[in-house]
Structure 1
Amino acid sequence: MRRSLATASLLASSLLSLVSAESLLLEARAQYTSTCSEIEQAISNVSALHWPYLGLNAAYQKDIGHWAVSSTAQAACSVEPGSAEDVGKILQILGKNKTPFAVKGGGHASNPGFSSTEGVQIAMYRFSDVKYSLDNQTAEVGSGLIWDEVYAALEPYAVNVVGGRVTGVGMAGFTLGGGYSWKTNQYGLTVDTIAGFELVLPDGTVAQVSQDSYPDLFWGLKGGFNNFGIVTKFILKTHYQTQVWGGIITITQENLEAVNNATVKFSQTVTDPKAAVLPTYNFLLDAPGVSLLLFYDYPTAPAGIFDDFLAIPYFTKDVKTRTFLDLVGAAPSNATSGTRCIFHTVSLEQYTPTIMDAVLNETKFWGEYLSLRSGTFISYDVEPFLPSIFSHGASNSSAYPPSRATGLLPLNIYYAYTAEVDDDTFYDAARQSAARLAAVAQGEGQDIADAPLYGNYAMFDTPLERIYGANVDGLRAVRERYDPEGVMALAGGFKF
């Protein structure tokens, strides 16, 4: 009898907890809906707010949609601001009501909740202008664009900017995180080429941010993501652009040792800043292989630089003289669009035979293991750059990297899968694989134990200190100065 009463009491308690949780959820949703209505009344006719309508609203679905399903959330509403002033109104309402929100540029965030929310989804699509200034040699670029669109707009002027390497990547998050590019060996990270920002501060003020006007914000925005407000425009330095040489080669498993050897030789001997390679080691269709991207920033490549790669037997090959836009379009980032995904990363000082063997072993091991747990695409992106890549900016000229003493090479771990129930399995696998590769590098004497990780690749639970090092306190001070009420803390991402 006592046991029955105890069981009944436990069941009643559980039911009350469920009812209470459901009640809180409904209360929160009602508050979010109220905020949506307030925003709808406040914005001008250059902006638009969209409601879910039982999932039948195409504009709403576009606004909340992301490249990875795991980065999409069902927001109470979505809003597409069309002016900086309307962004200011939206932020003021969100801050007053303490409503969670998210800011989406191109929708390529890999971390869940970083640019999605159950509150108010802000989609920046309407900030889509590209204006080239011949006098200033700069391009003013709207924050709702993907890099393909930026390159297409600049192509008629025979100029380019330092941006993404593959198709479909949003320019805003990429830039605010740092930005590794095909042109990084020549000009540095994307943050090293920024001349200014148009930023809507949390209090609604529209600020034109430059080194002269707001030096602290200018520093913090270069790598500090969405901690200080919402960027509506970027002003980027431009460079003359010819046609380029390059493309993609796919190579099957029996020739991967040759890819390893060619990659090590390239990374240790090629010093031409116009040359770059990006071998991605993929486990797909039950076997490892490599998608090899080659790039030279001129219509023809000098003899010798890529010979070892070109001598490897291949499955497919698309390498030629082409426009920069065409080269980027030949390398899809969205090959696994519609699946769940997670990124993580390791920072290296150099690529060695031992490191490359470890990359191939990780590809095989986790590819075989995770394919049994709804894994569809297991990938390791090897990114050799010159050791001088951080020298294009002055010491501590940006939030990331926190130190420019040593150029670091980001290795991107990228897993795609289908089942939500497997989230933790894939997160844990990415952590273990990153730790393993870091241990191999340290075993060879690479001083990377505390090397900063690239924020655009780092997993959501990466400590701020591992991305920003000694800059964390300074970034917190900037955040406190411009967002004392913590409005931007209502959005996802790495927060100060």
Structure 2
Amino acid sequence: MSALKRTLATSLALASLVYGAPNLEERTLDPICVQIASAISSASDVYYALDPLYAKGVSHWASSSSQLPNCVVEPGTAADVGIILGIVGSTRTPFAVKGGGHASNPGFSSTTGVHISMYRFSEINYDATSQTVEVGAGLIWDDVYAALEPFNVNVVGGRVTGVGVAGFTLGGGYSWKTNQYGLTIDTVTAYELVKPNGNVVTVTESSDPDLFKGLKGGFNNFGIVTKFTLQTFPQTQVWGGLITITAPHIPDVAAATAAFQANVNDPKAGIITTYNFLLGEPGISQLLFYDGPTPPAGIFDDFLAIPYFTKDIETRSFSSLVQASPSNATAGSRAIFNTVSILEYTPALLDVILNETIFWGTNLSLKTGTFISYDVEPFLPSIYTHNAQSTAYPPVRSQGLTPFNIYYAWTSSIFDSDFHDAAKASAAAVYNAALSEGQSGIVGAAIYPNYAIFDTPLSDMYGSNLPALQALKAAVDPTNVMGLAGGFKF
């Protein structure tokens, strides 16, 4: 049965149960979706509302990132992606591309037009000879880590559970292994890319250096990536996990966090100190990580000495550590990220962050806020030195930056603008506090695209690289097909 016949049979059968309408085909099937269904191969499918696979296709980690499209297209081959791009491009139909679905910006990977779900691009092919792995664009990092564990190797990927491979990689990628190997984009050796004209190409530094650079931080401006080839690195068991700490001990956490950034230079060690406001109180979710079975004595002693509410610290697999994170605790809520680039987390700046947590937690809880969170993510200043290649992000590699992440979750859409405005105001407060204490190096510093709120100016993320990226976009996509999709656009 062809993809079109399967689509019609499923959609009409389901819909007739609800509507009982004999002419339902004319009223419910979007003509562009029908055209796509008739053109793609049997490896792909189109789904309409009422089909469970439609619901799966549009679903995001943040409910505010989901929209109801005319149809969900689930391509199974790169060639079919090219056919789909040809149809939406020629008809000027808005579309979306969703990988893992972890985007928080509304409309960035959703649409009311044609929704392309990359779920079927799920291959993981490890090559021990080249020490690389091919990874499909529909995967989450949990899948990749589990597949590589039997080989005792790993990649530079996401730090918490549920994060998609595609958006994370195309936007940069800060990892537990970044101190050792750089950003995820620094470890990509090839992209399988479906260009806006439908051609399927493999992009490497030698085949197309400008496009290779543009894909390293440039999101979906240049087409749809269906596969990434990543460097792999040896992986032993790791040490770490999650500690939760209540309000009375937050000053101890702040002191330990500031001391860690100032004094710990071991590239295998990492932390995320998260200030939360939950159920009317501030608290801490403290992630500790060491890339080995046992950390050297003293590195984490300050954290381990603090009285805790819960503690899950042990020697474990990398997958186990990632899944110990609290990332999915608020899945299904409305959500937004925003960010500031910081050079140093001083005790004074951490006090400001605590005050922001309490102020906005108290105020936003009155507007259905369920989780107000501030992630302190210190990295070594050498993180951008691992790659000699030029990348779209960061535009400057002479100064290492650490991304500070604001994350808000809430339940009612009537307060969307309140949370968006608060995320911007709070980011400005933290930025101004860092500046006032002497961190002049953050003036003009690039903002991390994967954490940036939807209306962040492109120049704030790409700096002096922006004109070249805009010229590259015009050359690769002269009819602006990718402009029909959401996201930051050159």
Under TM normalisation by the shorter chain, which class is it?
over 0.9
Q: Which AA in structure 2 matches 1:40?
A: A
Who is 1:23 aligned against? none
Who is 2:333 aligned against? 339
Q: Which AA in structure 2 matches 1:37?
A: V
Dislocated runs of 4+, deviation >3 Å: 29-32
Who is 1:141 aligned against? 135
Q: Do 1:251 and 1:290's aligned partners in 2 also have CA atoms closer than 8 Å?
A: yes
Q: Does 1:322 align with 2:316?
A: yes
Q: Does 1:42 align with 2:39?
A: yes
Unaligned runs of 5+ in 1: 1-28
The separation in 2 between residues aligned to 1:279 and 1:332, in whole angstroms, is: 12
After TM superposition, give the deviation of residue 34 of structure 1 in Å: 1.2
Q: How does 1:480-491 map to 2 (within 5 A)?
A: 480-491=474-485
Q: Does 1:289 align with 2:286?
A: no
Who is 2:63 aligned against? 69
SS at match of 2:449: coil
Q: Does 1:86 align with 2:80?
A: yes
Q: Render the CA deviation track for 1:70-113: whole Å, top value 9, x for unaligned.
A: 00000000011000000000000010000000000000000000
Who is 2:51 aligned against? 57
Q: Which residue, 360, 385, 393 being the options, matches 1:391?
A: 385
Q: Which residue, 333, 343, 346 being the options, matches 1:349?
A: 343
The separation in 2 between residues aligned to 1:475 and 1:357, in whole angstroms, is: 38
Q: Does 1:179 align with 2:173?
A: yes
Unaligned runs of 5+ in 2: 1-25
**TM-score normalised by length of structure 2:** 0.94
The separation in 1 between residues aligned to 2:479 and 2:156, in whole angstroms, is: 34
Q: Which AA in structure 2 matches 1:439?
A: N
Q: Does 1:238 align with 2:232?
A: yes
The separation in 1 between residues aligned to 2:160 and 2:130, in whole angstroms, is: 27
After TM superposition, give the deviation of residue 332 of structure 1 in Å: 3.2
After TM superposition, give the deviation of residue 214 of structure 1 in Å: 1.1
Q: Render the CA deviation track for 1:268-317: whole Å, top value 9, x for unaligned.
A: 00000000000111000100000000000000111000000000000000
Q: Does 1:429 align with 2:425?
A: no
Q: Which AA in structure 1 matches 2:151?
A: Y
Q: Which residue, 460, 471, 477 being the options, matches 1:466?
A: 460
After TM superposition, give the deviation of residue 32 of structure 1 in Å: 8.8
The separation in 2 between residues aligned to 1:428 and 1:30, in whole angstroms, is: 40
Q: Does 1:370 align with 2:364?
A: yes
The separation in 2 between residues aligned to 1:250 and 1:407, in whole angstroms, is: 29
Tell me the percent identity: 62
**TM-score normalised by length of structure 1:** 0.93
The separation in 1 between residues aligned to 2:238 and 2:333, in whole angstroms, is: 32
Q: Render the CA deviation track for 1:132-183: whole Å, top value 9, x for unaligned.
A: 0011100000000000000011111110000000000001000000000000
Q: Render the CA deviation track for 1:402-440: whole Å, top value 9, x for unaligned.
A: 000110010000000011110111011011000000000
Q: Does 1:405 align with 2:398?
A: yes
Q: How does 1:220-299 map to 2 (within 5 A)?
A: 220-299=214-293
After TM superposition, give the deviation of residue 31 of structure 1 in Å: 12
Q: Does 1:444 align with 2:443?
A: no
Q: Do 1:273 and 1:386's aligned partners in 2 also have CA atoms closer than 8 Å?
A: yes
Q: Do 1:345 and 1:411's aligned partners in 2 also have CA atoms closer than 8 Å?
A: yes
The separation in 1 between residues aligned to 2:277 and 2:470, in whole angstroms, is: 40
SS at match of 1:235: strand
Q: Which AA in structure 2 matches 1:411?
A: F
The separation in 2 between residues aligned to 1:300 and 1:366, in whole angstroms, is: 38
Q: Which residue, 413, 424, 436 being the options, matches 1:420?
A: 413
SS at match of 2:89: helix
Who is 2:19 aligned against? none
How many residues align? The count is: 464
Q: Do 1:32 and 1:120's aligned partners in 2 also have CA atoms closer than 8 Å?
A: no
* Residues 209 and 30 of structure 1: CA distance in aligned 2, closer, same or farther (over 3 Å): farther
Q: Which AA in structure 1 matches 2:403?
A: P
RMSD: 1.1
Q: Do 1:347 and 1:411's aligned partners in 2 also have CA atoms closer than 8 Å?
A: yes
Q: Render the CA deviation track for 1:5-60: whole Å, top value 9, x for unaligned.
A: xxxxxxxxxxxxxxxxxxxxxxxx999911111000000001111011xxx31100
Q: Does 1:169 align with 2:163?
A: yes
SS at match of 1:480: helix
Q: Which AA in structure 1 matches 2:278?
A: L
